[in-house]
Structure 1
Amino acid sequence: MSERDLNGGLCEDYRDDSDAQLDALLATADAAVLDKLTQATDIDAGRAAVFARSVTAEEVPPSGEGDQCQLEWLLPFNDDSLLRWLAISGPGYLPRQLDKAISTIRTMTVVGRALLPESMRAYWGLATDFLSEASSRLTRLKTGLAQHELTRDAALALQDAAHTAIEQFLGTLHQATQNPHAPQAGRVTERLISTGEMVLTLLGWARESVEQLFADTDHTHHCPTR
């Protein structure tokens, strides 16, 4: 048998094994790349970095020096336009209101964990519990409405519970501000408080939307998904 015939025979006999080995190598390489990307990507750190840039101002600009500058300082996040909040203020935007509230609470949780000092851990541990409670209630509200599982009273009870949890969160941070902390910690706490107050406003809009959704009925009602 010639060398060419021998090679051809080997290729034919082991083609399936070679393909399997190649697939295994490719799968291993894909897994390694995915693992590297997962290790290199830290969403929480990214959120914290964005927030850190928003708390670098040393003081609130005095009135009259420029409304735009003052407005930017007062907003919870530099990249979060007030117009985006107002755009979902009216009844009929309930899913977007709930999404906005849940995502903002998530950001607040990440920020506090990443940027508040060890001296505030006791306060922050309690504050985080209230944020988790609010997020859980709002998630249940959104899911329950979308799946036709909630009556008007049940929906409003979930909204009220989330509202109360945010109020308790704010009360905890206000208590924390009574003790001396580093200037950076003070700025982060103030921004978290201002953001929490905006979430309360957002939850007020959500309550109005829930009441409109169940207008003239006590039965379960379909909540639009968009």
Structure 2
Amino acid sequence: MSDLDQALPGQQTDDEDAQLDALLAAADAAVLGRLAEAVDIDAGRAAVFAPSVTAEEVPSSGEGDASGLEWMLPFGKDSLLQWLAISGPGYLPRQLDKSTSTIRTMTVVGRALLPHSMRAYWGLASDFLTASNDHLMRLKAGLAHRELTREAALAAHHAAHTGLGQFLGTLRQAAQAPNDPQTGRVIERLISTGEMVLTLLEWARQSIEQLFSDTDRSLRCPTG
């Protein structure tokens, strides 16, 4: 050991620790890089959501509205009764939560399951979905914190409703393009689910109007 090493033992230890930390960081980065190359996130999403777009027979109008609506719902764990249970006045938080969670699900499904040939359509459609979701999040937060008047709340709701309508318009255009059966089923399911969310947003508007029916002041969004 040199005289310098004997004179500065603490510095030598710090240097060795720094070198070890650098080696460990480099090793971690290499492992993460290899994992990123090996893992296909979209393929994983597709495997999760693929059961929701398996081939199904669309019920005819003569079989009743309830069965037709149940076919349009996004996933098997959802039921028509769960949707109808939040259709009445006083359920605004649940209506907004259901809308935003379904919008997020549609975003994941479209990104994971629509093929490269739909990228141009889906890029525009997902932008409309994101904008709609952002308006709904601001609406819920503004109501919960008493920051919105009736006019501001209805304006935010209208913007969210408009964005979802634009999303549906884009997907309907995509449905007119030549598509394989799987892509067609994905688009049909996204459209039918989006239409259900539009219905839910109409209920939410009724709830907003009731919330402000007796006053122009901001009110706390009900919790039940």
TM-score normalized by structure 2?
A: 0.76
Change (3 A) 1:89 1:43: farther
Identity %: 74
Paired residues of 1:146 and 1:225 also in contact (CA < 8 A): no
Measure the CA separation in 2 of the matches of 1:125 and 1:201.
24
In structure 2, the residue matched to 1:78 is: 76
Question: C-alpha offsets along residues 5-30 of structure 1, whole Å, 9 cap, x if unaligned?
Answer: xxxxxxxxxxxxxxxxxxxxxxxxxx
Deviations 1:160-179 (CA, angstroms, capped at 9, x unpaired):
00000000000000011111
SS in 2 for 1:177: helix
Give the 3 Å change call, closer, same or farther, for CA 205–72 of structure 1 in structure 2: closer
Counterparts of 2:41 and 2:195, CA distance in 1: 25
Q: Which of 154, 157, 161 is matched with 1:156 structurally?
A: 154
Q: Which runs of 5+ in 2 are unaligned?
A: 1-27
1:146 to 144, 147, 151: 144
**RMSD of equivalent CA atoms:** 3.0
Q: Give 1:66 shift.
A: 9.6
C-alpha displacement at 1:225, in angstroms?
3.4
- 1:196 paired to 2:184: no
Could you list the per-position Cα deviations for residues 27-59 of structure 1 after superposition, in whole angstroms to 9, with x for gaps in the alignment? xxxxx9xxx9xx9xx998776544310211243
| CA distance in 1 between partners of 2:45 and 2:203 (Å) | 26
- 1:91·1:208 contact (CA, 8 Å) conserved in 2? yes
* Alpha-carbon distance in structure 2 between the residues aligned to 1:135 and 1:109: 10
Give 1:77 shift. 1.6
Contact 1:47/1:107 (<8 A) preserved: no
The residue number in structure 2 matching 1:29 is none
For residues 95 and 185 of structure 1, the distance between their equivalents in structure 2, rounded to whole angstroms, comes to 34
**TM-score, structure 1 length as denominator?**
0.75
Match of 2:134 among 133, 136, 142: 136
SS of aligned partner of 2:197: helix
> CA 1:155 to 1:43, structure 2 compared with 1: closer, same or farther past 3 Å?
farther
In structure 2, relative to structure 1, the CA distance for the partners of 1:114 and 1:150 (3 Å cut) is same
